[in-house]
C-alpha cells in the first residue's frame, strides 16, 4: 500500500490550516465574550456567576426564567449579557425567601454574587445545656426489696460549642496575659499576680491591623481574611489579607477599601454567619438579623 501522495497531503494540510485559521479567531473571540448585537456590530459582552449553597433553586434574570438548578449543580453562570447595564437576578425556592440582587455587567468581565436564601419560617429549637439521666438500681434480697435512684448530669456538646461561639465577654483576638505587681511591706517584697486581657493580632493581620488601627476598634472579628468591627455604632468590613485579591463584592465601579452597614440601634453582639465570611449575624434590641456584607442593591437584612 502506498502512502498518501504529497499532493493529497498538501491539500489536506491547506484545508486544515484554513479551518484552523478561520476557527481559532472565532473561538478565541467567542471565549472572550465577543458577540454580534442586533445591529450586527461586534460587542464584548459580560456575564454573571452566582455561587449558591442551596440546591433546587430557580433563577430569574430581569424576571425572565433562566434555569433550574439541581442537587449537585447549584451555581449559575450566564453570559452573553449586554455590557454596562444592570441586571436583576432573582433566586427562588419554595419555603425560602427570594434572594434578589441587581448587578452591573461590564464588558469582558464576570460579575459574581453569592446567594443567601433563608427559610420563610424558622423552627426554633431549644438547646439544653445538659441532660439529667436517672438510674434506678433495685436490689432484690430474699424477703426484702430496696430501690436506689441516682442521677447524672450529661453535658450537651452542641450547647458547649454554641456557648463558646456566643460567649459574651470574650473578644476574638483577646489573649490572657499574666501580670505581676510588686509591693514592699516592711521591706519584704510581695508579688501579686493577676490576669488581664490584651488584644493580640496574628502575624499575617498585623500590617492591616496597624494601618487601620484595629486595636482601637470595638468588637473586632475575622473570618477567612474578612475583618469586621464596630465604629460609631455602625459595622465596618475590610479585607485583611493585603496580599490576596479583594473579594468581588468590594469592587463595583472601583474597589472600595471598606464596606459599611449603617445601624440605627445599639448592637449588642454580632458574629459571622456559620461557614460564610460575607454574612453577619447581628443581635440588637429589636432582634437577631442576618446581614450581607455585599452592599450591592438589594442588601439582604433579615430579622428573626
Partner 1 sequence: MQVDWREMIGTLKYGHIYHLVILPFYKEPEEMVEAAIQSIAASTYDKSHIILALAAEERAGKKAVSIAHRMKEKYESQFGHITVAVHPEHVVGEIKGKGPNITFAAEEVKKNYINPEHIPYEDIIVSAFDIDTVILPQYFLCLTWYFLTCENPHKTSFQPVPLYNNNIWEATAVSRVAAFSSTFWQMIQQERAEKLTTFSSHAISFKALNEVGFWQKNMISDDSRIFWNLYLANNGNYSTIAISYPVSMDATTAPTMWTTLRNIYRQQFRWLWGVENVPYMLFGFIKNKAIPLKKRLYHTMVQLEGWWSLATHPLLILLLGWLPLVLGGDAFRDTVLSYNLPYITRNLMLAAMLGLVLAVAVAFSFMPQLPLDSPKRKRKYFFAGVQWLLVPFTIVIFGAIPGIHAQTRLALGKYVGEFWVTPKHRDLKK
16, 19, 26, 27: which one binds partner 1 (CB under 8 A) = 27
By the 8 A CB rule, do 151 and 132 touch?
yes
List Cβ neighbours of 277 (8 Å cut-off, separation of 6 or more): 223, 224, 225, 226
Cα(268)–Cα(217) distance, integer angstroms:
15
Identify the CA nearest to 90 among candidates 124, 113, 70, 109: 113
Partnered with residue 89 across adjacent β-strands are 61, 101
31, 180, 203, 254: which one binds partner 1 (CB under 8 A) = 31
Cα(69)–Cα(79) distance, integer angstroms:
16
14, 18, 30, 86: which one binds partner 1 (CB under 8 A) = 30
Cis check: omega of the bond before 167, within 30 degrees of 0: no
Cα(248)–Cα(180) distance, integer angstroms:
48
- Give least dist CB 93 to partner 1, A: 24
43, 49, 74, 88: which one binds partner 1 (CB under 8 A) = 49
Q: Is 56 helix (H, G, I), strand (E, B) or coil?
A: coil
- Give least dist CB 168 to partner 1, A: 39
**Exposure of 284 in the CB half-sphere (CA atoms within 13 A):** 18
- Between 66 and 283, name the residue whose CB sits nearer to partner 1: 66
- Give least dist CB 30 to partner 1, A: 8
- Between 67 and 112, name the residue whose CB sits nearer to partner 1: 112
- Give least dist CB 108 to partner 1, A: 6
- Between 47 and 261, name the residue whose CB sits nearer to partner 1: 47
46, 103, 259, 272: which one binds partner 1 (CB under 8 A) = 46
By the 8 A CB rule, do 85 and 103 touch?
no
- Between 201 and 239, name the residue whose CB sits nearer to partner 1: 239
Cα(250)–Cα(238) distance, integer angstroms:
9
99, 201, 229, 248: which one binds partner 1 (CB under 8 A) = 248
70, 119, 202, 245: which one binds partner 1 (CB under 8 A) = 245
C-alpha cell at 215: 486595636
Range 262-301, binding partner 1 (CB under 8 A): none
Q: Is 20 helix (H, G, I), strand (E, B) or coil?
A: helix
Cα(45)–Cα(110) distance, integer angstroms:
9
Which x/- pattern, by CB under 8 A, does the window 205-234 give for partner 1?
A: ------------------------------
- Please report whether residue 1 would count as binding partner 1 according to CB under 8 A: yes
Range 85-124, binding partner 1 (CB under 8 A): 108-110, 112
Would you tell me which residues interact with partner 1 (CB under 8 A)?
Answer: 1-4, 9, 27, 30-33, 45-47, 49, 77, 79, 108-110, 112, 245, 248
Amino acid at each position: 500500500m502506498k502512502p498518501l501522495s504529497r499532493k493529497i497531503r498538501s491539500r489536506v494540510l491547506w484545508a486544515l490550516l484554513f479551518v484552523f485559521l478561520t476557527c481559532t479567531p472565532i473561538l478565541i473571540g467567542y471565549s472572550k465574550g465577543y458577540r454580534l448585537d442586533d445591529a450586527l456590530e461586534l460587542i464584548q459582552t459580560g456575564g454573571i456567576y452566582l455561587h449558591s449553597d442551596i440546591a433546587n433553586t430557580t433563577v430569574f434574570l430581569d424576571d425572565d426564567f433562566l434555569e433550574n438548578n439541581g442537587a449537585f449543580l447549584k451555581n449559575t453562570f450566564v453570559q452573553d449579557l449586554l455590557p454596562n447595564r444592570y441586571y436583576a437576578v432573582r433566586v427562588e425556592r419554595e419555603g425560602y425567601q427570594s434572594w434578589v440582587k441587581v448587578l452591573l455587567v461590564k464588558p469582558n468581565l464576570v460579575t459574581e454574587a453569592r446567594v443567601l436564601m433563608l427559610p420563610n419560617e424558622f423552627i426554633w429549637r431549644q438547646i439544653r445545656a445538659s441532660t439529667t439521666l436517672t438510674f434506678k438500681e433495685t436490689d432484690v434480697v430474699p424477703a426484702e426489696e430496696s430501690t436506689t435512684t441516682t442521677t447524672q448530669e450529661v453535658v450537651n456538646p452542641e450547647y458547649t460549642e454554641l456557648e463558646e461561639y456566643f460567649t459574651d465577654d470574650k473578644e476574638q483576638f483577646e489573649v490572657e496575659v499574666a501580670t505581676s505587681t510588686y509591693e514592699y511591706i516592711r521591706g519584704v517584697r510581695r508579688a501579686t499576680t493577676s490576669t488581664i486581657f490584651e488584644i493580640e493580632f496574628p502575624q499575617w493581620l498585623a500590617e492591616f491591623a496597624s494601618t487601620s488601627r484595629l486595636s482601637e476598634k470595638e468588637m473586632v472579628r475575622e473570618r477567612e481574611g474578612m475583618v469586621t468591627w464596630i465604629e460609631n455604632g455602625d459595622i465596618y468590613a475590610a479585607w485583611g489579607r493585603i496580599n490576596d485579591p479583594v473579594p468581588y463584592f468590594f469592587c463595583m465601579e472601583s474597589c472600595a477599601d471598606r464596606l459599611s452597614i449603617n445601624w440605627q440601634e445599639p448592637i449588642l453582639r454580632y458574629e459571622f454567619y456559620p461557614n460564610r465570611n460575607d454574612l453577619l449575624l447581628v443581635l440588637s434590641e429589636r432582634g437577631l438579623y442576618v446581614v450581607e456584607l455585599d452592599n450591592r442593591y438589594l442588601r439582604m437584612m433579615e430579622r428573626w
